[in-house]
Amino acid sequence: MKEKIVLAYSGGLDTTAIIPWLKENYDYDVICACIDCGQAEELDGLEQRAISTGASKCYIVNVVDELCEDYIMPCVKAGAVYENKYLLGTSMARPLIAKKLVEIARKEGAVAICHGATGKGNDQIRFELGIKALAPDLKIIAAWRSDKWNMNSREEEIEYCRKHGIHLPFSADSSYSRDRNIWHISHEGLELEDPANEPNYEHLLVLGVTPEKAPDKETEVSITFESGTPVALNGRKMKVSEIITELNELGGKNGIGIVDIVENRVVGMKSRGVYETPGGTILMEAHDQLEELILDRETMEYKKNIGNKLASVVYEGKWFTPLREALCAFVDSTQKYVTGEAKMKLYKGNIIRAGTTSPYSLYNESLASFTTGDLYDHHDASGFITLFGLSSKVRGLKMQSLEGKNKK
């Protein structure tokens, strides 16, 4: 019997070409594994395509709920945003995909895992760090980094497939390089490769419309949270994946969550892409809105640092590490009382706050009012300012004294 290899399979051009390439160059029994993170219609006909291309078996594993609850929500609770813009849509999914690839490899008795990520991108790092952490004994074949891989363009891959009798349901010409899951869709390539070019949104957008084409009427949204996790949308109890799905629809219609970014990849280069994250943008804004009422100043300030660090850790593919676990443990401890409701209005790309309530709110109207109340005496501020500004005053006196001496 031939040794088995599990291929991370998307059904796109790269992984379609990799099936016969693996059989030809390594003589493996190829088992395809498509991890369904919410790719929607991209999964249509995938199993048949894999088998007809030479795979002996094709797994399609739905992990949408696990992705939402165990990978997306920890990042939402942390406020993890890479370089202030990227909501980590691809980054959060890759460790879960690696985990499932390992599980299938163990079930099948495979000796290796193969992926089609290029040698220039972040995904090769994310996949391989996940596999190394969970199954250090398995071989990893990165097709694009292999000495046996001699295809350097989409046209060459298409010609390779043609020679092997493989019919492709797509062409080489016009498509962006995309990654889609329930949280977002990313777009790279074509005119986006030059930062001087404006994105062709008419051709590009999948999940929604530009703010200019959004309705002239606002859409009201309310999200209810319990311990940092969304549990209801507009008063209806729903699981996290259902809330994200519906928010994607509402946000997409209103031009929410379109980001054009030049980001710093792990491998050292800059890359330009457009991300559509309509539901995620709304959800993170609602969570932030609620936290502002509940968390004290010092915790909020420190948590921002934790969120930034977690964003880097996740972006770099270091999900299965003690550091990621420790960062998430801190975040979880801050979420105990993040319970309440955040109301918003969606209007032409904007998320407008419309009121926030929580039984654990630290906002005290008596304290915040300009009217003097029982809890606050304006005169108390005098002593506070004297002590709080003492170091500034001492330095000022010293500088004043030195200036006087210099004039003499």
Point out the residues that are catalytic: 14, 94, 123, 177
Whether 382 has a binding-site annotation, put simply, is no
Name the strands in the sheet holding 57-62, side by side, starting at the edge strand that comes first in the sequence.
57-62, 29-36, 4-8, 112-115, 139-142
> Quick check: helix, strand or coil at residue 278?
helix
Whether 13 has a binding-site annotation, put simply, is yes
Whether 181 has a binding-site annotation, put simply, is no
Whether 126 has a binding-site annotation, put simply, is yes
Our CA angle for 382, 386, 391, nearest 5°, is 160
Tell me the CA distances in angstroms from 4 to 27, 30, 32, 54, 109, one per residue in order.
Answer: 9, 6, 10, 13, 7
* C-alpha to C-alpha distance for 358 and 340, rounded to whole angstroms: 4
Whether 9 has a binding-site annotation, put simply, is yes
Whether 12 has a binding-site annotation, put simply, is yes
Whether 235 has a binding-site annotation, put simply, is no
In this structure, are residues 206 and 184 in contact, taking their beta carbons and an 8 Å threshold? no
Whether 247 has a binding-site annotation, put simply, is no
Nearest in space to 53 (alpha carbons), one of 74, 30, 36, 69 = 30
Residue found under tokens 């999900």: 319
* C-alpha to C-alpha distance for 209 and 205, rounded to whole angstroms: 7
* C-alpha to C-alpha distance for 230 and 279, rounded to whole angstroms: 12
Whether 91 has a binding-site annotation, put simply, is yes
* C-alpha to C-alpha distance for 133 and 390, rounded to whole angstroms: 52
Please give the distance of CA 210 from its chain centroid, rounded to a whole number. Answer: 21
Annotated binding site: 8-16, 86, 91, 116, 118, 122-123, 126, 177, 186, 263, 275
List, as residue ranges, the binding site for L-aspartate: 118, 122-123
**What residues form the annotated binding site for ATP?**
8-16, 116
Binding-site residues for L-citrulline, in ranges, read: 86, 91, 122, 126, 177, 186, 263, 275
